[in-house]
A and B are shown apart, each in its own frame.
Chain A
Amino acid sequence: MSIPTTNHTEKIGNANKRKYLLEKVSSKVFLICALLSVFTLLLIIGFVFYKGAHPFVAGGYSFVDFLLGTDWVPSEDKFGILPMIIASIYATIGALIIGVPIGLFTAIFLAEIASKRAAKIISPAIQLLAGIPSVLYGVFGLAIIVPFLQNTLGLVKGQSLIAVILVLAIMMLPTIVTVAETAIRAVPKTYREGSLALGVSQIGTIFRVVVPAAKSGILTAIVLGLGRAIGETMAVILVAGNSLIVPTSLTDSIRPLTTNIALEMGYAAGTHQEMLFATGIVLFSFILILNFVLARISAKGGN
Chain B
Amino acid sequence: MRQFKDNLLNGLLWLSAFLSVAVLVMIVGFIFYKGFGLISFDFIFGDYSPTGGGGILPMIVTTIYTIAISLIIATPIGILAAVYLQEYAKQGRLVKVIRFATESLTGIPSIIYGLFGAVFFVTTLKLGMSIIAASLTLTIIVLPVIIRTTEEALKTVPAAYREGSLALGNTKLQTLYKVILPSAMPGILSGIILSIGRIVGESAAIFLTAGTVAAMPESIFSSARTLTVHSYLVTQEAGDIELAAAIGIVLIVLILAINLSATFISKKLNKATNK
Contacts and interface: CB of A to CB of B under 8 A. Distances in A.
B44 to A, nearest CB: 17
Contacts of B171: 19, 22-23
A105 B13 contact: yes
A301 interface: no
Interface string A253-273: 000001001100110000000
B84 A31 contact: yes
B77 A262 contact: no
A38 interface: yes
Contacts of A174: 24
Contacts of A34: 80-81, 84-85, 89, 98
Interface stretch (B159-167, B180-188, B214-222, B247-255): B247-255
Interface residues of B, number: 82
Contact of A129 (B27, B84, B202, B208): B27
Interface in B3-31: 5-6, 9-10, 12-17, 19-21, 23-24, 26-28, 30-31
A48 B255 CA distance: 32
Interface in B160-178: 171-173
A104 B16 CA distance: 9
Given A233-B203, A283-B109, A41 B80 contact: no
A138 B143 CA distance: 27
Question: Which of B14, B89, B108, B144 has its CB near the most chain A CB atoms (within 10 A)?
Answer: B108
Interface in A128-173: 128-129, 131-140, 142-144, 170, 173
B204 to A, nearest CB: 4
B231 A139 contact: yes
A236 to B, nearest CB: 10
A103 B119 CA distance: 38
B235 A139 contact: yes
B70 to A, nearest CB: 13
A114 B231 contact: no
Contacts, number: 240
A31 B88 contact: yes
A22 B173 contact: yes
B228 A135 contact: yes
A6 to B, nearest CB: 23
Contacts of B143: 36-37, 40
B116 interface: yes
A203 B200 CA distance: 41
A202 B147 CA distance: 41
A129 B13 contact: no
A265 B118 contact: yes
B175 to A, nearest CB: 11
A103 B113 contact: no
Given A23-B172, A47-B116, A170-B27, A41 B104 contact: yes
Contacts of A31: 84, 88-89
Contact of B140 (A30, A40, A233): A40
A114 B13 CA distance: 10
Given A105-B12, A201-B6, A131 B24 contact: no
A173 B23 CA distance: 10
B115 A277 contact: yes
Nearest to A113: B13
B102 interface: yes
A231 interface: yes
Nearest to A232: B109
Contact of A136 (B21, B84, B204, B251): B251
Given A143-B30, A227-B107, A262-B208, A106 B232 contact: no
Contacts of B228: 133, 135, 234
Interface in A24-83: 26-27, 29-31, 33-38, 40-44, 47-48, 51
B242 to A, nearest CB: 9
A167 to B, nearest CB: 10
A280 interface: yes
B110 A231 contact: yes
A143 B116 CA distance: 32
Interface string B209-231: 00000000000000000011001
5 contacts: A30-B81, A35-B98, A37-B102, A105-B12, A131-B259
